Amino acid sequence: MRQYLVTFHKVVPDGSGHDRRALQHHVVVAAGSEVAAATAAKAMFCDRAGIADWRLRADTCEAVELSDVAA
């Protein structure tokens, strides 16, 4: 299985009125694909936050495969 870093962000205005992405949660997930990693992370986020839908706390969910660091 591959390892994925899954991040959740919420778009919020900063002090100058510009939008910025604020990190809400991140988790490393072992999964067979990017889609499977995102699905698992969404379930974890909902469970951890005690909410029914991850979109109540975040606007985006992104999964990125982590590279092997073995030298």
Structure tokens at 29: 């997930």
* φ, ψ dihedrals at 40, nearest 5°: -65, -40
Specify the 3-state DSSP secondary structure of 66.
coil
Contact 1, 18 (CB under 8 A): no
Provide the pLDDT for residue 63.
96
pLDDT of residue 27: 97
pLDDT one-digit tens code per residue, 32-71: 999 999 999 999 999 999 999 999 999 999 999 998 544 4
Q: Domain 2-65's class?
A: alpha beta
Per-domain residue ranges for the chain? 2-65
